[in-house]
Structure formats: structure tokens, C-alpha cells
Amino acid sequence: MNDKAIGIFDSGLGGLTTVKEMAKILPGEDIIYFGDTLRVPYGNRSRETIIKYAMDDVKFLLKQDVKMIIAACGTVSSVATGLGLDIKIPFTGVVEPTAMAAYLSTKNKRIGVIGTTATIKTNSYKKEIKRLDPEIEVIEKDCPLFVPLVENGFIGNDTITTLVAEKYLLPIKNSNVDTLILGCTHYPIIQPIIERIMGRGVAIIDSGKATAKFAAKKLKELNLLNKKGKKGIHSFFVSDSIESFSKTADIFLGEESRCFVKKVDI
Ligand code: DGL
């Protein structure tokens, strides 16, 4: 048993998809979230820059004395492997849990992966899926406009996001995949648009959800669950203005995001 909080970070709002799932699975856990909203997006930056930013994010969460860190960011998980930090607490990214969920879902052995440009360049999800089953065909596509659209609130039924999504997704749909990985944690925020375009026959794998399940299992196995029996407290930290974060977070998390949000310099 361990009453410390779980630390979750992302470049911006995307990791909230992991927070939402984590809160559903383990409602008694305290969560400390850090969104690096000043430096978002990470996905079109160099490897060196992404590693530097990820190390800053991890150091911030370590200072909060969390019991586990989740890099709820497809870009960090793909690019900044082996951060060069001595992290003495359990740590997970999103690639392995998500690839496993897709591997378990596909029937026709054709999986699509969408992510940021940095993520798709590493072929991280493809490599992991091929490790699980070399016969699976993996079709990858970067969608660089999705993160700025989400961060700027172009969500819901937005027509611009729908047009952009059609351009990105129709080639993947036409390649007959039966499973699509949302390899960036921002993408579940526009999942209804993605689902509409891909159609009913395609299972959508949300990296936030798959990772939250994986992390919860790991905490249980390591006997690190919070057993206080009270509803967990969620605290949100951002590196840019609270207003812009709260606006979109509100739509996505509802009342939850209004609990505690603080701007910090990291
Ligand atoms: N949510 C991040 C990811 O999963 C966003 C990346 C970005 O900041 O470009 O890749």
C-alpha cells in the first residue's frame, strides 16, 4: 500500500485522456498531472529537444514525490526511450501497452497507426507490433495538424478538424485495417470524428486507455495501491496560462479540471 500520487505528464492536454481512464479504473488514487503547455507541440521537434523536455517533465514529477510516472505522450514514449535519468520508481510510456491492445484486437492482421511526425518517424508502434507478431501488416500515418487543432479547441463536431481528418484517414481506411491505434494521447479528444470516418468495422485503440489499464495492473502487482478508501485528489500543473488549458480541459474532463490548476516554471 502506498498513499503517494501517480504522476502523469504530456506536452499539453493529451495526457488528460490517460487521467480520465486512470480515474475510472482507480478512483481512490491521487493524481498529479503536468502538461507542458508552454512548449507544446513536441511532435515536430528534434530528438534532442524532445529528450530535454521529457527530462524536465520527469524531474518536475519526481520533485512532487510521486510513486509512479506515466509518460502519457506517444512522442516522448517513442523518441525519448532510456531518458538517461535514474528513475527509482515504476515508469511507463504508452507504446507497449497500446501495441499489445491492438495485437489482441486485430482479426485480419492489418493495423493502422496514427501519431505525430516524430512518433511515426521512429516506427515505435510498428516495431512493437511486429515483435508480437511479424505477420501483422502495419500502416502508419503522421497527422501533424491534429495536436494544434485539439490544443486550440477545434473539437466536438468541428468542420475543419473533420476535413483534415478525412485527408489523413481515408488512405488508411482504404487499406482495409480492422484496428486503428490512436498513437498520440491527444487524439482520443477527437475520437468521435475519427470513428465516423473509419466506420463501424474498425476498432479504435486509445493509447491513454490502454496505458491506464496497464499502469493500474502494475500498481496492483507491486502492491502500491492507495487503500485509504477515499476519492482521489487530482492536481493539474501547466507551464503556460491556466485559462487556455482550462478551456479545453473543461470540455474534456468536465468539473474535474476545475479542481486545482496551477501554472509552474520548470
Ligand atoms: N500527446 C502527445 C503525444 O501523444 C502530443 C505530442 C505533441 O506535443 O506533439 O504524442
Predicted confidence (pLDDT) per residue in 161-178, tens digit: 999 999 999 999 999 999
* Intrachain domains 6-93+209-263 and 95-208 with the same fold: yes
pLDDT tens digits for range 238-247:
999 888 788 7
Domain topology for 6-93+209-263: Rossmann fold (3.40.50)
pLDDT score at 80: 80
Cα 79-81-84 angle, rounded to 5 deg: 120
Tell me which residue has cell 479542481: 259
Read off the pTM.
Answer: 0.92
| Cell numbers for 28 | 481512490
Residues 74, 200: Cα–Cα separation, whole Å: 25
H helices present in 26-158, as ranges? 47-63, 74-79, 95-105, 117-122, 124-132, 146-151
Q: Which of 82, 145, 84, 144 is nearest to 118 (CA)?
A: 144
Amino acid at 8: I
SS3 125: helix
74 lines ligand 1 (CB under 6 A): yes
Q: How far apart are CA 15 and CA 185, in angstroms?
A: 6
pLDDT at 257: 55
Edge-first strand listing for the sheet containing 203-206: 137-142, 110-115, 179-182, 203-206
Q: Please tell me the predicted confidence (pLDDT) of residue 256.
A: 62
Q: What is the pLDDT along the chain (266 residues), one digit of tens a residue?
A: 889 999 999 998 889 989 999 999 999 999 999 999 999 999 889 989 999 999 999 999 999 999 999 999 999 999 987 666 678 899 999 999 999 999 999 999 999 999 999 999 999 999 999 999 999 999 999 999 999 998 888 988 899 999 999 999 999 999 999 999 999 999 998 999 999 999 999 999 999 899 999 999 999 999 999 988 888 999 999 999 888 788 777 777 766 655 688 999 88
The protein residue whose alpha carbon is closest to atom 2 in ligand 1 is 73
pLDDT of residue 127: 96
How far apart (Å, rounded) are the C-alpha atoms in residues 52 and 120?
A: 19
Catalytic residues: 73, 184
Ligand 1 within 6 A of 206 CB?
no
> Which is the closest atom of ligand 1 to the Cα of 119?
10
Domain layout of the chain by residue ranges: 6-93+209-263, 95-208
Find out if CATH 3.90.1640.10 is the number for domain 95-208: no
Cα 227 to middle of ligand 1, angstroms: 32
